[in-house]
Structures are given as C-alpha cells and as structure tokens.
Structure 1
Amino acid sequence: MEPVLFYGIPHGCSFGSIVALEWLGQPYRLSRIDMLASPAPYGRVNASRETPTLLLEDGETLSESFAILQHIAARDLDRKLGFPQGTRAHDRLNRTLAYLHTSFHSAFAPAWIAYKLAEGDPAKAVLRDIAHDKAAKGYAHLEALLAGRDWLDGGDGRTVADAYLVGIARWGEDLSLFELAREYPRVHAHLQKLEADPAVIFAHAIEDGLPATTSGRFLGHVSLEELVPRLAA
C-alpha cells in the first residue's frame, strides 16, 4: 500500500508535507488528526503525538517535518524538490530547512500555547508578545533571504523548503501577530505566489474539510483505526 501522511488540524506544519506530496506526483493517502483532541490511539503512530508522521510502505513510521520533507524529495530527485546528498545544493537546502524547522517554527510556540488558553488569562498577552518578538527576527531573516531570489533556497525552482514555508509562515497572520504585506513585503509576495499553486490550494481545502481536487496522486483519506494493523511491531 502507498504511504500515508498523518496531518494535523488546525493549521498544522504538516501542511507543507501535503504540498510536497502533491508536487512529488506519486500515490499517497492522508489521515486526519485533530491536534486539539490528541486522540490516544495516535500514540501508537507517534509517541509524542505530534504531526506530521509518514507511514511508509513497510509499516515503519517517519516523524519530524525536516526528515519527512527530505524523504519525499529523495523519492524522485528528477522532480528537483531536493538534491543528491553531498552536493552543495543539498547542503543549501538542508540549511534552509533546518532554519525553518528549528528557529522559525519554534518562534510561534508561545503563541500556540496562548491560543489554547482561556480568554482573560493574563499569560495570554505575555506569551503572544514573546512569540511576536521571536517570530519578527525570523521574518526579517526570510525577508533578507528572499532578496533577488525566485525561490527560498536560492535555486532555479521550488523545493520542499517552499512547501514547508507556506505551511508555517502563514501563522504570523493566522495568530494576528503581523501584517505581512506591510511589514515583510518580500515574504508576503512569495507566499502569494505559492498560494496560487494548485498543490497549496488543494492542501487548504483538505485542511478545511472541503472538496479538494488533487494535482498529484492523492488516493483519499484513511482512518487512524484502519491503519493500526499496518504499523510495524
């Protein structure tokens, strides 16, 4: 059976892995995980109960966006979503992905904690301020990085770094921390370009539970319960 991506809602970083799978053009399925509910059976798939997780054909699982995106890219290097290991292009992409996966992604963690707090909780504003300050440094770095570039890693075409970026850079506006068009116009323009891509449009529809037209080879959803027998011992 084809690989299955467990993706999280609402607005998880797994969004980028859905986009990358669409760009890859190989058969895959999806399994939807409500991260606010944190279903107990998902602990069988990912002990930390975080998304995304990719269930491979042999029943093994692969977690962490960085690893999943590089795995997707390596499935068909002719697609040029990634590059052969040992090349400068691979190192450049690794550096970009590492920055997104660690420094930039983690900057929003306080705001996501605040999102789950009740209105009126005094910690809410403090956490949002911390997230704003940390994420502002990330956006400023990306703004500088995109100067004179058509794609995030500086190559000739889109890569898994662009797929990951569109899934996490949206958080600044999702969480009402920034006005990207005014504060970081290069980042905003790059995101707008990506938002017009059929794979990104598809991923939004999937997240929102709306009818979605694949431009890749998406074969449908499968439930967590159906997948348990596939898990490696």
Structure 2
Amino acid sequence: MTPILFYGVPSGCSFGSIVALEWLGAPYRLCRVRMPEDVSGPGYRRLNPVGETPTLLTAEGAALSESMAILNHLGARAIDAGLGFPQRSPGFDRLNQMLGFLNTSFFGAFSPLWYALEHAVDGAARQALVDYGRAAVARAHADLERMLGDGPWLLGGHRTLADAYFVGIARWTGYHAVVDRADYPGLQRLYQRLEADPAVAFAHAVEAGRPAGGGPGFQGEVGLDEALALAAAPAG
C-alpha cells in the first residue's frame, strides 16, 4: 500500500516528517489529524495508543509512531539521496546523535510553553512554566548554535533528515513568542535556507489547508475515517 502519514494540526512536530517525505520523493499520502480533538478519539488511539502525531502507516501496513522512529525508517530508504546513512557508519551515528538532541533537548525545551498554552494554568504557576520554558528554549538554541558551527546544514555540507525535523520545531519560537533567532546567526541562516525550500513551503500549505501541489511522491490526502479503516484492514 502507499504509506500514509498522519500529521497533526496546528503546528505539529509531524511537519518535519512531511518535509522528509517530500525530499525522499517516494509515493505517500497524508491524513490530517486535529489536535486535541482527533488524537484523543478512540479511532486514532487504536492506531496510536499514546494519542500523538505523527504516525506513519508503512507500505507493509504497520503503524509506526514517534518522529525519530519515522525519520529513521525513511532514512533507510534515503541513503542514496544523502538524507540518511547506512547503519554502523559514522554518518548514521552523527545523524542519530543530532536527532536525539532535537527530539529531547530542543523539542523538550518547548514542553512547558505548550503545557501553559494548552491547559488551564493561571497566575504564578503559569508564569513559572513560561519563565522556565523561555530559559530552556534559549539554552537549547545556544547549544545547537555551537553544534552547528560554520556548516550550512546541521551535519555539515548537505541537508539530512535532521534539518527536516529541525525546521518543524524551530518555527515554534514564533508561535510562543520566545527568543529572537537573530541572536543565533547560524541557526537563523539555516532556518531561512529551509524556509526557502519548496518542501517546507509545501508543508506550510498543507497545515494551513491551502491547495498544495507537492513533489512527485505526494499522492494526495485521505480522510481520517478512511485512513483508520485502511490501518485496521488485514495485511495482504
């Protein structure tokens, strides 16, 4: 079957997986999942018990969740394109190290801000979450700026799946009005380079519900009910 990526709106970290699929160019479809309405429903939780996005329904009909797992799954198919690396190679280790940082320290820095936004937290408790989140986001940016160094991409001379994941998270600084990316010139250059990429423009259009052509691999969107029925169908 054609793989289906279940992506979350608004502003889900699944954005990076859409970019990665566009870069890969292999056939895929998309399924829009509203947060929190759809992810908390029983149909989606049967597919992903954690109730989060993204989830990838693979060509074999298996449901794969967590961005790192999905990106590594795609990376194994993107070695010739330079987006991923063979296992047991230095590039593979460096990619996983960077994805690990992005998935824990960089993504995690925004968690207090998301919690304050999405839950009924007021007064001193809300301010404490916001202050902690702002400090964590600033620290994560400073660390990533040092890791980037003078390279044009996160792993050096060419883009990888780490860059796709980065741009989906980095845009949250605007969503939460935290840090000025201009204070991190290397990250600012990287972010601007990625924002000019057609795959990133496509992902923005998809999230916004605007008409989006996509690359040669994009086979259109499928409704949630239909996608969940396909996920429940026996393989074969």
TM-score by shorter chain over 0.5: yes
Cα deviation for residue 121 of structure 1 reads 4.6
Q: Which amino acid aligns with 2:72?
A: Q
RMSD: 1.5
Q: Alpha-carbon deviation of 1:173?
A: 2.1
CA drift at 1:231: 2.3
Structure 1 residue 150, shift from structure 2 partner: 1.2
- 1:215 offset after TM fit, Å? 2.5
Aligned to 2:92: 90
Aligned mates of 2:138, 2:8 — CA distance in 1: 25
Contact 2:113 2:133 in 1 (8 A): yes
Identity of aligned pairs, percent? 50
2:60 pairs with 1:58: yes
Number of residues of Structure 1 aligned to a counterpart in Structure 2: 231
Residues 21, 113 of structure 1: alpha-carbon distance in 2 compared, 3 angstrom cutoff: same
Aligned to 1:174: 175
Matches within 5 A, 1:15-34: 15-34=15-34
SS in structure 1 at match of 2:113: helix
Structure 2 unaligned regions, length at least 5: none
1:186-228 Cα deviation digits (max 9, x unpaired): 1111100000000000000001111112124111111121122
Q: Secondary structure at the match of 1:32?
A: strand
1:31-180 correspondence to structure 2 within 5 Å: 31-37=31-37, 38-40=39-41, 41-117=43-119, 121-154=123-156, 156-180=157-181
In 2, Cα distance between equivalents of 1:16 and 1:125: 30
Q: 2:31, 2:48 → 1: CA distance?
A: 13
For 2:97 and 2:78, the matched residues in 1 are separated by 20
Pair 1:99–1:216, CA change in 2 (3 A)? farther
Partner of residue 186, structure 1: 186
Summarize the alignment of residues 4-15 of structure 1 with structure 2, pairs less than 5 Å apart: 4-15=4-15
| Greater shift in the superposed pair: 210-219 or 131-140 | 210-219
Of 109-118 and 91-100, the range deviating more from structure 2: 109-118
Q: Is the 8 A contact 2:44 2:228 kept in 1?
A: no
1:222/1:39 CA distance change after superposition, 3 Å: farther
Report the alpha carbon displacement of residue 169 of structure 1 after superposing the two structures with TM: 1.2
Shift, 1:119, TM fit: 8.4
Give TM-score, length-normalised by structure 1: 0.94
Secondary structure, aligned partner of 2:80: helix
Distance in 2 between residues matched to 1:80 and 1:5, nearest whole Å: 22
C-alpha displacement of 1:2 = 0.6
Give distance in 2, aligned partners of 1:33 and 1:145: 33
Task: Quote how far apart the aligned CAs of 1:58 are.
Answer: 2.3
Q: Distance in 2 between matches of 1:61 and 1:125?
A: 38
Q: Please tell me the residue identity of whatever aligns with 1:163.
A: A
Q: Deviations over 1:117-166 (max 9, x none)?
A: 45855432221111111111110011112221011022x21000000000
Task: Name which of structure 1's ranges 82-91 and 108-117 shifts more when overlaid on structure 2.
Answer: 108-117
- Out of 192-201 and 120-129, give the one that drifted further: 120-129
Consecutive unaligned residues in structure 1, runs of 5 or more: none
